[in-house]
Structure 1
């Protein structure tokens, strides 16, 4: 994304999110105008009171107002009832107050609705981003963007957006009113306005870069905290508390230093602005007295002019603060649109939904996660017969899991890198959602959401009654363990399943996958944390009760030996392919692992 697009994205690209709320934004804008006009009437009331009620200067008002004043008794009546002038000021104050209230209420409704839509769009978009995108971005940084950066935008829209409108109106109206009173003195005021504007713009550019550095530092800090809290058991197990505290302090100090430097710049900006504003007020007071002595300005006009000058000083100063907020918002918006501009996973137009119970064919598949690290799979070809059990064996890093990621299209296989078909249909032509709904995968390190056992096993399944849940739990040999808890299937399993063992997590994940009843089932080393006896029971249960194509990835020969066919991978290449009996009769990796694990004497007839 180029710099011009980034700048544009800061504000303008949020406009589509305001659809349905633009009427409320417009009402808030109009109410701000009414409030500003009402506030600027008070100095005019003071001018008329001093010059034309207390003194004898003719009323300098529109003709219809002069006629109305004469009709109610004229100057003498107002002198005797000076409280009427105060009442008029009060009326304008009430109008300004009600207008401000209406503006705030309309803006709040519009702002919260708009920001809620931003959050919804952001979360939905992240759900549809490719698995590869998630792997290349830290979770903590994503969370920081979706919370802190969205909150900065919400604060700008709710608190600063109308302030921008108000500030511009105050500057324009103040100058207009001052020029209507005295042009020469107004030109003197105008000499200060460009100086304040230029200083604010210079600091806007300087603080923009510093805000970005601070925001990115906060993202790294958030990512570190998220990772540390997720791995708290590892930290405790290895006694790494002191080490992790030192790492946190280092990142926290970096983040703090960014904000200290930023605050130093902003403090200098505010100090300079306050000096210029105070100097402006002093100069206008001295010059105004000189103009009054010359007779070029009445006492009432002088009071009104100094009031308008004071009203001008604050918006001119406030503009610097608004530009600083705009700078922060621009950085946050850019970070959000870096997510929203990331391309989503999409199926091809007119994507197919074929039967998923056919043969699975890998045809000359080559794949690497990135070019700098070389390929993971090299010219891999094999066929998994429909309804069969297919085993995959290989050392760590040989590409076993990568095969399943490609089958489920968690990573996209380029056209020139081979082809994967199910029932003769290229998986690239199959509707993505349909494909994944028909492939169940249990990973070696399964993720369990913070729910009860019953909710976790039934997650996403069409039926969620307890008896059905227990049926699949028994198939995964986890029913007895769950019923042993005091709350049974209603027992919360904690965030990421921290309250249960690794083997129990794997079995809950197996039950969850089996309950989806998909035609293709993948067990990616998902029995590694269970003991041999439980492993055998699960395999027996699955073989008796589960239908469809089953793919087993494992390091244990006993887990794979009863598969219809077994594929052996070696550094991303097909090393051997055959049945258990065929492979142990050949010299190779399979036989060597079989002898190392002592499977020949295990007596496993499962």
Structure 2
């Protein structure tokens, strides 16, 4: 019921088209049922000598052309009427197809827009956990299943109902007993169809989930294909995909077996029903209980009726698929959008930052950051060092409000971070990730992503600061060079420098380098940091790095371990302590000396 209501809501604005399609299929059904009646009248009253039994309007038409006797010499007239009815039926079927398809396409567009829009505003945490391949499938194939059901199969339900009601209405006055015999196995077929629906819905749900996992594996492999080849892991990846493919195949086989059972059993029941009607009607015609025309009508109607009833299996299958797809789409839409505090403050941010006793945990009882406190003045540089899993990235993510802290206080220019509008704070915090994502556009378009109105000169300036300008000029098409999907045509260092340029062009008062200098050489690293220092309106800068050379000139260095600040100070202060920073510094100096001697 919930899914039906959901479909009804999606049809808003297109319900008139859909009702038009239903009315058209009803009229088309009516005209298709009229042809056997004309044949019956022709056999019984025109060719035969039975008294004319037809609605008054038909009798008036026959009288106007000279009566039954005139029709005996003009048998082409019933033929023309049958052809005319077929043409009219075809016209109604055309409108049925047109209006249902237009309504279905509009609904599909509405769902795609709604899901895509909803995904944009879901939390950072949701996208970290979600599988991209599965989300793509929900936005494409699941929507297509709903579209196909609305465009064709749902209308077939109306066709079957109209066919059933009209045939009963016409057949009962002719012979009520033969009507009951003609309908005897239809309830059995219907019950069998409902049982089939329950089984196929569950089977399809499992198959959709398996296909989603297979799509995620494929998407992940295609994205990391260069890594796979570099490590010679092709065979492993093929086996992993094959495992998912086998599960998907087996579930598909199960679905196919269900279909095979349905069509074979429903075919058997339909043939039995037609055989019963044919045998009974022939015998009753022979004994004179019914006319030859009545026998023809009953056998024709039973054949016409059984087909849509059998087709209900296909319809119900697609209904089951549509219900599963609606549930899968509903799971996305049920996720709460990230609250953006649009009524929050939008202060002019200078870059003074204060952390006081900040604690954050992803899972209750397992803090990732514990009692973090430090202060930074605007324009200063903060470096963060620590082992993997120490909470470095989480700390800067709190600053951009990708997550909200549970305890403590973070203030920017004296204002509590939670009171500042999320959109506003993210416009003022330039977050440069270790693995930057680049779009399959030109280099210039990627740099201007945050400020599409930026002038070319501004693009060149930030590229120079990021030490990428000269590299870009060496490309055949310069800044008009396409970087390829996810920046595949660039090296890791080039992608990082391009991402730095993209953040710098926004002129954020706070910039975060989340290990985003790791792929550049030390000389380029030094050149970028030197250029950043010379910029006007110097931003408050956070640098996460494992290189002492990268962070040694920072005003404040935070050393994190197990979610806590274990050391804080500048380079000279920290190397004088016998702590983690000092040990890493000595180790990196030792490695550097060994490399110098070996070269």
Q: Deviations over 1:16-66 (max 9, x none)?
A: 222222221121121111111111111111111111111122221222432
Is the contact made by 1:347 and 1:430 (CA closer than 8 Å) also made in structure 2?
no
The superposition leaves residues 156-178 of structure 1 with CA deviations (integer Å, 9 ceiling, x where unpaired) of 11121211111221122222222
Distance 2:204 2:420 in 1: 45
Cα deviation, residue 599, structure 1: 9.6
User: Aligned partners of 2:52 and 2:63: how far apart in 1?
Assistant: 10
Counterpart of 2:405? 413
**Which of 368, 371, 379 is the matching residue for 1:379?**
371
Partner residue of 1:575?
Answer: 566
Q: Is 1:265 aligned with 2:255? A: no
Pair 1:342 & 2:335 matched: yes
Structure 2 Cα separation of the partners of residues 506 and 71 of structure 1: 88
Q: 1:134 to 1:397 in 2, by over 3 A?
A: same
8 A contact 1:171–1:315 mirrored in 2 = no
CA distance in 2, matches of 1:189, 1:345: 59
Name 1:223's counterpart in structure 2: 216
Q: 1:531 to 1:239 in 2, by over 3 A?
A: same
Q: Does 1:486 align with 2:476?
A: yes
Q: Which residue in 1 is equivalent to 2:589?
A: 598
Is 2:450 the partner of 1:460? yes
Match of 2:597 in 1: none
What SS does structure 1 have at the residue aligned with 2:185? helix
Corresponding residue pairs, total: 592
Match of 2:504 in 1: 514
**Alignment partner of 1:69 is 2:59:** no
After TM superposition, which residue ranges in structure 1, 4 or more long, deviate above 4 angstroms?
A: 599-602
Q: Distance in 2 between matches of 1:112 and 1:101?
A: 16
- Counterpart-to-counterpart distance in 2, 1:52 and 1:15: 49
* Aligned-partner SS, 1:19: coil
What TM-score do the two structures reach when normalised by structure 2? Answer: 0.96
- Distance between the aligned counterparts of 1:44 and 1:333, measured in 2? 43
Shift of 1:378: 1.0
**Cα shift at 1:116:** 0.8
The 8 Å contact of residues 558 and 599 in structure 1, kept in 2 or not, is answered as: no
Give the direction of change, closer, same or farther, for the CA distance of 1:565–1:245 in structure 2 (3 Å limit).
same
User: Matches of 2:12 and 2:222 in 1, distance apart?
Assistant: 39
Matched position secondary structure for 1:401: helix
More deviation, 400-409/174-183: 174-183
Aligned position for 2:596:
none
Deviation at 1:369, TM superposition (A): 2.2
Deviations 1:210-249 (A, max 9, x none): 1111111101110100011111011101111112112222
Structure 2: distance between partners of 1:438 and 1:85: 81
Gaps of 5+ in 1: 1-7
Q: Which whole-Å deviations, capped at 9, do the CAs of 1:531-578 have from their partners, x for residues lacking one?
A: 111111100000101522111111112222222211111111011122
Please say if residues 408 and 436 of structure 1, whose CA atoms lie closer than 8 Å, have aligned partners that are also in contact. yes
Q: Describe the superposition over 1:288-319 as per-residue Cα deviations: whole angstroms up to 9, x where unpaired.
A: 11222333311111111111111111111111
What SS does the aligned partner of 2:355 have? Answer: strand
**C-alpha distance after superposition, 1:62-95 (max 9, x if no partner):** 2243233223210111111111111111111111
Of the three residues 390, 405, 418, the one matched with 1:398 is 390
User: Cα deviations across residues 108-143 of structure 1 (Å, max 9, x unaligned)?
Assistant: 211111101111111111111111111222111111
Distance in 1 separating the partners of 2:113 and 2:181:
51
Q: Which of 517, 525, 533 is equivalent to 2:523?
A: 533
Q: Please give the root-mean-square deviation of Cα atoms over the aligned residues, in Å.
A: 1.7
Find the aligned partners of 2:473 and 2:15 in 1 and give their Cα distance.
Answer: 55
The answer to whether the 8 Å contact 1:9/1:337 transfers is no
CA contact (8 A) 2:123 2:338 kept: yes
Instruction: Pick the aligned partner of 2:98 from 99, 102, 105.
Output: 105
What TM-score does the superposition give when structure 1 sets the normalisation length? 0.95
Q: Distance in 2 between matches of 1:349 and 1:501?
A: 39
What's the CA shift for 1:363? 2.1
CA distance in 1, matches of 2:554, 2:506: 22
Matches within 5 A, 1:436-451: 436-451=426-441
Classify 1:194/1:305 alpha carbon distance in 2 versus 1 (closer, same or farther; 3 Å). Answer: same
Distance change >3 Å, CA 464–CA 180, structure 1 → 2: farther
Which has the larger displacement, 567-576 or 417-426? 417-426
Alignment deviations for residues 262-307 of structure 1 (CA, whole Å, 9 cap, x no partner): 1111101110000000000000001111222333311111111111
Q: Report deviation, 1:601.
A: 9.6
Aligned pairs for 1:414-429 within 5 A: 414=406, 417-429=407-419
Whole-angstrom CA distance in 2 between matches of 1:189 and 1:540: 91
Choose the corresponding residue for 1:523, options 510, 513, 518: 513
Between the aligned partners of 2:531 and 2:351, the Cα distance in structure 1 is 23
